[in-house]
Amino acid sequence: MDNEIKTRVLTSSHIFLKKASTVREVAKIMGCSKSTVHKDFTERLPKIDPGLYEKVKELLNFNKQIRHIRGGEATRRKYELEKI
């Protein structure tokens, strides 16, 4: 695996864990697509650092569990702004 890819995977993983952010937010920070970030987390990271992968996987699962709540909040804010 290319050294540049390894660096990107590790950097994005650390950002993801440090800020407890979403894949979309990490992709925006890293300047790549969310598909790339997700592939980095699920396919490349286990080969590079299995310990770090376990931590990232936990946060990915947490984000998946609460995504319906985040979506509902975003919709609520949208309609509140339209009223103003």
Helix 23-30 / helix 3-19 crossing angle, nearest 10 deg: 130
For residue range 39-56, list pLDDT tens digits in order: 999 999 999 999 999 999
Task: Check whether 21 has a pLDDT greater than 80.
Answer: yes
Contact 59, 42 (CB under 8 A): no
pTM for the predicted model, two decimal places:
0.77
Residue at 56: amino acid letter = V
Q: Quote the CA–CA distance of 9 and 50 in Å, as a whole number.
A: 12
For residue range 57-76, list pLDDT tens digits in order: 999 999 888 777 777 777 87
Q: Quote the CA–CA distance of 65 and 28 in Å, as a whole number.
A: 22
Question: Domain extents for the chain?
Answer: 3-83
Q: Quote the CA–CA distance of 31 and 14 in Å, as a whole number.
A: 15
